Amino acid sequence: MKIKKIGVYAILFLFVFSSLTLVSAAVDDGWGSTGVLSQILRYIFGQTTDITSNEVSAIIITIAIWILIVFTFADIIKTFSTFSPLVAWSAGFAFALIAANLNWIVHILSWFVGIAAFLGGLAVIAGIVGAFIVFIGVNLGLTFLKPFIQGRKEMAKDTEAMMGAMRAATGIKVAGKIAQGAEDTAEGER
């Protein structure tokens, strides 16, 4: 089992190292140029994104998304199907290759960045508006907001207490395992 894990890590390291080597060669060659290496990389990873003006960043982002697609699809197929891991990883690679050649990687990236930016901006605005509403309500003496504010404070304290209880329970379990191990060792020495 350990040999398989070491082999997987070695292959993953070699893949990442060779990818970085290809990236540096592609940047030197110019991913957009007509060189053979650039065409091979464009076929495997797809077009680079236009999100950044830095060509190296665009190549790294494109390869990172490609790797995420491979791992995600392979894991989903491996977990929720009856296929062997080899078939799952092959299918994950094939899905990433298809996504790259259909330029879905660029579209996926643009879509996720757009949604994340929108939701992030919405969260900031909601937080600021909520803080001002509570501030104005407290200063105007609106008593109907008092239970809401107290409830929020109690929820925060309850969450802290729950986390403390979970840490204490984990500590007790660990101490029990240590005691059990000590007893087993003592019995083994007799």
140 versus 81: the higher-pLDDT residue is: 81
Average pLDDT over residues 126-151: 78
Query: Would the pLDDT of 24 be above 60?
Result: no
Average pLDDT over residues 44-58: 66
32 versus 7: the higher-pLDDT residue is: 7
Cα separation, 73 vs 56, whole angstroms: 26
pLDDT at residue 125 in the model = 93
Supply the pTM of this predicted model: 0.44
Residue 81 DSSP label? S
CA 167 to each of CA 106, 154, 159, 163: distance values in angstroms, whole numbers, following the listed order: 43, 20, 12, 6
What's the burial of 74, exposed, middle or buried (CB within 10 Å: 0-12/13-18/19+)? buried
pLDDT at residue 122 in the model = 92
